[in-house]
Amino acid sequence: MTAEPAPASREAPRARFRPPAVPQVDVRGFWGSRVDAVADKTADILYERCVEAGMLDQLDPDRPVPELRIPFMSMSPAAVTSGKPTFTSGTVTTQMFWDSDLGKTIETAAYSLYRKKNPELEAKIDAVIDMFAKLQQPDGYLSSWYQRMQPGLRWTNLRDCHELYCAGHLIEGAVAYYQATGKRKLLDVMARYADHIDTMFGPEPEKKKGYCGHEEIELALVKLARVTGNDRYMKLAKYFIDQRGQQPHYFDEEALARGSDPSKFHFGTYEYNQSHKPVREQDKVVGHAVRAMYLYSGMADVATEFHDDTLRVALDKLWDDLNSKQLYVTGGLGPSDANEGFTADYDLPNETAYAETCAAVALAFWANRMLGMGPNRRYADVMEQAIYNGAISGISLDGSLFFYENPLESRGHHNRWKWHRCPCCPPNLGRMIASIGSYMYGQAEGEIAVHLYGDSTARLDIGGKEVRLTQTTRYPWDGAIGITVDVDAPTRFALSLRIPGWCRKASLKVNGEAVDLQAVTIDGYARLDREWKAGDSVALDLELAVERIHAHPEVRQDAGRVTLKRGPLVYCLEAVDNPISLNRVALPSDAPVDARYEDGLLGGVVTLSAKAKADATADWGGTLYRTEPPKSEEVAIKAVPYFVWDNREPGEMLVWLRGG
């Protein structure tokens, strides 16, 4: 895992790469099972749990306005005694952003409907959409919270209250549902809302100079602009990006207008929501992790769409900072629960890692959008790292139980839950998994990039001509990838194939003829620029060696420790396979590690086995301390991919093993 060089060592084409829409890619194999679990189970579960939480009671204008279900997090003393919420600045209940949970649930359902018909779920989602349509005000405004729970307060607290964030998630849901079903009711509703937002915010003197405390609207507006072709939304996305952190600071002015003291901001610093300075001056990843990743995703989209190199430069500095000092080996991020985010360089505690599922999902979003500016494995490798480890660890194999935090060590009491008071993660991961096909490829004028490998068929668009690519592979368990090209007539395009940075030995053949990888590789992608004919075949072989990974010496929690990785997958020990206290185990640096595919285990996984050493306890009697070091005994260990942990009996789990 060596650091990748800064991008474009050789001049790469300045094409804009867009991800394919979800229905353009049918996934099978590894991702097929994951998407099926979401389509068969998660999508329905998300809807049902939103209903149980009371979200439709808050949304449906035909029902009476409900009591508050989830108390404000920092209520005034009067509110505590009366049990009634009193609005004070900085007070938040997660109920304020229920519209976002519904938006992500709609999005997950939409992608699931591509996979499998589910008329019952579709009817339920249609009914939710009808509620949103009915609730929408004549001016286009739409928020179940501000229209029903706190009327009269709209646009008074962008810093804390997620108003534009909710709009963003509903926009994403609307785009996906339109693409999945062809039904445009929610899309039209959200376009009207976006039009309204555009009348409220912007550089014109009469408009507010605000932006959301929780980024999300930016990337959503880009999606809306792409699907509607309406440039107004693209410009609004750029405005929100450009305006963030400018002086006078909007959140100060807004707080004063509410009668609040801006210096009493609960999180103390605007680093929390990345508005501490204008985005082009930011070079350090700070604050709330999901917010940061969503901001950078929006910045990357805007950089791509506007060919804005000033944003690109800032993004690369932020990328370097995250990857060189603040990212867990699992692609998890944001170690602290206090700010759900970043702390200090190299502070990566394992057992207490917050590493919210949403943050790893959002890192995949960011990485994917960096690829809009051209294929470069420095981004795609990290996208893969986050997706295969710290993101999908957040859902059980059957798609029914979830993690909010993704620690790298557990004593056995961190277990998957059914639902959460703040249920942001399950639908975020649901939508990511169900749309995985769109992360696998990028398409541009005369260009196709394959970012991720997996058994699948893609129907891509090259200047109006369809190119069908079929990947045949058992990846990530096996590194042999066959790709067949199918075109109606010979078509010239460049096919760029990622050669992952973790791969020490790769070989490539086109129609059986070896390709000199060094000669064709740009920024970690083998670029095959030729006229392709139906039946052309590409064979890519990526060696999946087992690697020992060491952390930078400044990561004190990992000092003297090692973890195992094979291809994109990080491994861990679980008590169920290793009946010994896991911190007694040390893996000698020369111990051979065997990889074996176990069909019947956890849906079929490659496990890693080795002979390790363990500190013996038998001769310690009742002594707690002694001058003689512990004796060493041999112990057989078996590691499983991190993402499958806690799918069997609960018990200890450990990613970073003591080295030997």
Residue positions annotated with a catalytic role: 340, 424
Q: Which residue has the tokens 């949103």?
A: 132
Angle between helices 289-306 and 357-370 (to 10 degrees): 10
Q: Which does 340 bind (CB under 5 to 8 A by kind): ligand FUB, Zn ion, none?
A: ligand FUB
Cα-based distances in Å from 574 to 398, 410, 446: 19, 9, 47
Query: Quick one: CA dihedral 100, 101, 102, 104, positive or negative?
Result: positive
Please identify which residue in 107, 242, 254, 356 interacts with ligand FUB, judged by CB under 6 A.
356
CB of 104 to ligand FUB, least distance (A): 10
Question: Rounded distance, CA 581 to CA 586, Å?
Answer: 11
Q: Cβ closer to Zn ion: 122 or 356? A: 356
CB of 512 to ligand FUB, least distance (A): 49
Closest by Cα among 361, 340, 245 to 288? 340
Q: Cβ closer to Zn ion: 85 or 394? A: 394
Please give the angle made by the CA atoms of 349, 354 and 360, to the nearest 5 degrees: 110
- 293 contributes a contact to Zn ion by CB under 5 A: no
- Footprint on residues 212-231 left by ligand FUB (CB under 6 A): 214
CB of 97 to ligand FUB, least distance (A): 5
- Footprint on residues 502-531 left by ligand FUB (CB under 6 A): none
Q: Cβ closer to ligand FUB: 302 or 358? A: 358
CB of 21 to ligand FUB, least distance (A): 25
Q: Which does 214 bind (CB under 5 to 8 A by kind): ligand FUB, Zn ion, none?
A: ligand FUB
Q: Which does 402 bind (CB under 5 to 8 A by kind): Zn ion, ligand FUB, none?
A: none
Q: Which does 595 bind (CB under 5 to 8 A by kind): ligand FUB, Zn ion, none?
A: none
Cis check for the bond before 568: say yes or no (omega within 30 of 0): no
Query: Quick one: CA dihedral 119, 123, 126, 128, positive or negative?
Result: negative
Q: Cβ closer to ligand FUB: 19 or 426? A: 426
Q: What are phi and psi of 219, to 5 degrees?
A: -70, -30
Give buried/exposed letters for 607-638 (b at 16+ CB in 10 A, else e): bbebebbbbeeeeeeeeeeeeeeeeeeebebb
Q: Which does 242 bind (CB under 5 to 8 A by kind): ligand FUB, Zn ion, none?
A: none
Q: Cβ closer to ligand FUB: 265 or 493? A: 265
Beta-carbon contacts of residue 2 (< 8 Å; ≥ 6 apart): 501
- 373 contributes a contact to ligand FUB by CB under 6 A: no
Q: Output the six-digit token pair for 203.
A: 């550089």
Q: Cβ closer to Zn ion: 100 or 323? A: 100
Q: Cβ closer to Zn ion: 246 or 396? A: 396
Size of the residue set binding Zn ion (CB under 5 A): 4
Closest by Cα among 311, 340, 119, 27 to 213? 340
- Footprint on residues 349-388 left by Zn ion (CB under 5 A): 356, 358
- 599-638 mask for ligand FUB (x: CB under 6 A)? ----------------------------------------
Which residue in the shown chain puts its C-beta closest to ligand FUB?
Answer: 290
CB of 424 to ligand FUB, least distance (A): 4
- Footprint on residues 423-452 left by Zn ion (CB under 5 A): 424-425
Q: Cβ closer to Zn ion: 290 or 610? A: 290
- Footprint on residues 157-216 left by ligand FUB (CB under 6 A): 214
Size of the residue set binding ligand FUB (CB under 6 A): 8
Task: For 536-588, give the DSSP string.
Answer: -EEEEEE---EEEE---TT-GGGTTEEEEEETTEEEEEETTT--S-GGGEEE-
Question: Rounded distance, CA 77 to CA 250, Å?
Answer: 28
Is 206 buried (19+), middle (13-18) or exposed (0-12) by CB count in 10 A? exposed
Closest by Cα among 119, 97, 99 to 44? 119
Question: Rounded distance, CA 601 to CA 368, Å?
Answer: 31
Q: Cβ closer to ligand FUB: 214 or 414? A: 214
CB of 340 to ligand FUB, least distance (A): 4
- 353 contributes a contact to ligand FUB by CB under 6 A: no
- 407-426 mask for ligand FUB (x: CB under 6 A)? ---------------x-x--
Question: Rounded distance, CA 366 to CA 565, Å?
Answer: 23
Q: What are phi and psi of 377, to 5 degrees?
A: -70, -15
Question: Rounded distance, CA 387 to CA 393, Å?
Answer: 9
Please identify which residue in 53, 102, 161, 290 interacts with ligand FUB, judged by CB under 6 A.
290
Query: Quick one: CA dihedral 336, 338, 344, 347, positive or negative?
Result: negative
- 82-101 mask for ligand FUB (x: CB under 6 A)? ---------------x----
Q: Cβ closer to Zn ion: 106 or 424? A: 424
Please identify which residue in 221, 227, 285, 358 interacts with ligand FUB, judged by CB under 6 A.
358
- Footprint on residues 63-102 left by Zn ion (CB under 5 A): none
CB of 131 to Zn ion, least distance (A): 24
Closest by Cα among 610, 541, 600 to 571? 610
Which residue in the shown chain puts its C-beta closest to Zn ion?
Answer: 358
Closest by Cα among 109, 230, 213, 111 to 168? 213
- 194 contributes a contact to Zn ion by CB under 5 A: no
Strand partners, 469: 458, 485
Alpha helices in 214-333 (DSSP H): 217-228, 231-243, 250-258, 289-306, 309-321
- 392 contributes a contact to Zn ion by CB under 5 A: no
Could you tell me the maximum CA-CA distance found in the chain, to the nearest angstrom?
79
Q: Which does 97 bind (CB under 5 to 8 A by kind): ligand FUB, Zn ion, none?
A: ligand FUB
CB of 141 to ligand FUB, least distance (A): 20
CB of 341 to ligand FUB, least distance (A): 8
CB of 404 to ligand FUB, least distance (A): 8
CB of 92 to ligand FUB, least distance (A): 8
The count of other CB atoms within 10 Å of the CB of residue 22 is 24
Please identify which residue in 340, 405, 447, 455 interacts with ligand FUB, judged by CB under 6 A.
340
- Enumerate binding residues for ligand FUB (CB under 6 A): 97, 214, 290, 340, 356, 358, 422, 424
- Enumerate binding residues for Zn ion (CB under 5 A): 356, 358, 424-425
